[in-house]
């Protein structure tokens, strides 16, 4: 199967760089998935994006886009991908629609108005299409950058911290739109330092730190592996109980921490609370933040950079 993106043993040392920015990273983006590169500032996320877009050349290792080494055919790569850079670029003189027309021209698309209007509508920019960039709000500028990345209908979309500095309501709109693009078959690589964003949006994540991947896998699987399940049992009357899982007892409420793979029925029969005393049972699953903290405490490399 030809994968949208295959990165193998990528290393990057900037010419004037003191440290190696990327230290032997390998991961793939599968067709139609949202993959998240997650990590703190300086982890190496933007450097990886820059080697995919051929803005930077790898020191060693290989980056393939739809089966093609990006250093061998940069033009092929550029046609397949759309990229939204971390920094907002200001081109104040032109209006929104003109910018998108010029940008389409860069891909050799002369009559691209239909696609441009489709994208403008999708990003709630259509009514602002005659505005100059300097008249746009921060959120609109960010959306314009996404529109630019989409004019040529790329098969792989790279989003470098798409919601940094974006307010919450717009952030949710963007997440919805990114899911829609996935639904239409696009493959997406995004970088973020927001754990919640990665948890909500990404099918798989790679956690990167100090230029190395600390963890790579299915988002839900990572959460399951590195978090604990909490079960809160509300009783009709206080009860004294001995259980290896019990961590807190407060009047009629008991809190248990239970291994992820233990079924609720098995747990209830093990703790042996009389059923007629149970008023309510709440299960609280862990989240990516909890998994991340666990990973940090387990992993010296991750810990040292934070």
Ligand X SMILES: Nc1ncnc2c1ncn2[C@@H]1O[C@H](COP(=O)(O)OP(=O)(O)O)[C@@H](O)[C@H]1O
- Footprint on this chain of Mg ion (rule: CB under 5 A): 45-46, 86
Complex with Mg ion: residue 46 or 104, whichever CB lies closer: 46
Complex with ligand X: residue 164 or 277, whichever CB lies closer: 164
> What residues are paired with 16 via a beta bridge?
none
Q: Which strand ranges, in their side-by-side order, compose the sheet holding 246-250?
A: 246-250, 253-258, 229-235, 278-284
CB-based contacts of 244: which residues, under 8 Å, 6+ apart? none
Minimum distance between the CB of residue 290 and Mg ion, rounded to whole angstroms?
Answer: 25
C-beta nearest to Mg ion: residue: 46
CB 68 within 8 A of CB 85: no
Complex with ligand X: residue 87 or 266, whichever CB lies closer: 87
133 binds, options Mg ion, ligand X, none, Cβ within 5 to 8 A by partner type: none
> What is the DSSP pairing of strand 81-84 with strand 156-160?
parallel
276 binds, options Mg ion, ligand X, none, Cβ within 5 to 8 A by partner type: none
Number of DSSP helices (H) and strands (E) in the chain, helices first: 11, 14
CB 5 within 8 A of CB 155: no
Q: Which helix (H) or strand (E) holds 144?
A: helix 138-150
Minimum distance between the CB of residue 199 and ligand X, rounded to whole angstroms?
Answer: 19
Minimum distance between the CB of residue 1 and ligand X, rounded to whole angstroms?
Answer: 29
Interface with ligand X (CB under 6 A): 14, 16-17, 19, 21, 39, 41-47
Residue 245, token pair as written in the block: 């899982």
d(CA 110, CA 102): 9
Minimum distance between the CB of residue 5 and ligand X, rounded to whole angstroms?
Answer: 17
Longest dimension (CA), the chain: 76
42 binds, options ligand X, Mg ion, none, Cβ within 5 to 8 A by partner type: ligand X
Complex with ligand X: residue 36 or 44, whichever CB lies closer: 44
55 binds, options Mg ion, ligand X, none, Cβ within 5 to 8 A by partner type: none
30 binds, options ligand X, Mg ion, none, Cβ within 5 to 8 A by partner type: none
Complex with ligand X: residue 116 or 210, whichever CB lies closer: 210
């Amino acid at each position: 199967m030809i994968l949208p993106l295959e990165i193998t043993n990528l290393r990057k040392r900037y010419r004037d760089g003191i440290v190696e920015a990327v230290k032997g990273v390998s991961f793939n983006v599968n067709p139609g998935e949202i993959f998240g590169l997650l990590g703190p500032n300086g982890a190496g996320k933007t450097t990886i994006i820059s080697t995919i877009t051929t803005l930077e050349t790898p020191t060693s290792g290989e980056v393939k886009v739809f089966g093609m080494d990006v250093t061998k055919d940069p033009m092929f790569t550029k046609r397949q991908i759309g990229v939204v850079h971390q920094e907002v670029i200001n081109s104040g003189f032109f209006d929104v629609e003109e910018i998108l027309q010029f940008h389409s021209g860069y891909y050799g698309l002369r009559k691209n108005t239909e696609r441009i209007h489709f994208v403008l509508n999708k990003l709630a920019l259509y009514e602002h299409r005659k505005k100059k960039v300097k008249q746009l709000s921060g959120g609109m500028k960010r959306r314009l950058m996404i529109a630019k990345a989409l004019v040529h209908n790329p098969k792989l979309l790279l989003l470098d911290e798409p919601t940094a500095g974006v307010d919450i309501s717009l952030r949710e709109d963007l997440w919805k739109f990114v899911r829609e693009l996935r639904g239409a078959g696009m493959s997406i690589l995004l970088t973020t330092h927001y754990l919640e964003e990665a948890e909500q949006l990404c099918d798989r994540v790679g956690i990167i730190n100090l230029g190395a991947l600390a963890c790579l896998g299915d988002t839900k699987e990572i959460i399951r592996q590195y978090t604990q399940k909490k079960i809160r049992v509300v009783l009709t009357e206080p009860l004294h109980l001995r259980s290896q899982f019990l961590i807190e007892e407060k009047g009629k409420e008991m809190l248990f921490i239970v291994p992820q793979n233990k079924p609720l029925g098995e747990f209830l029969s093990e703790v042996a609370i009389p059923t007629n005393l149970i008023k309510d049972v709440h299960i609280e699953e862990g989240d990516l933040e909890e998994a991340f903290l666990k990973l940090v405490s387990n992993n010296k490399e991750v810990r040292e950079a934070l």
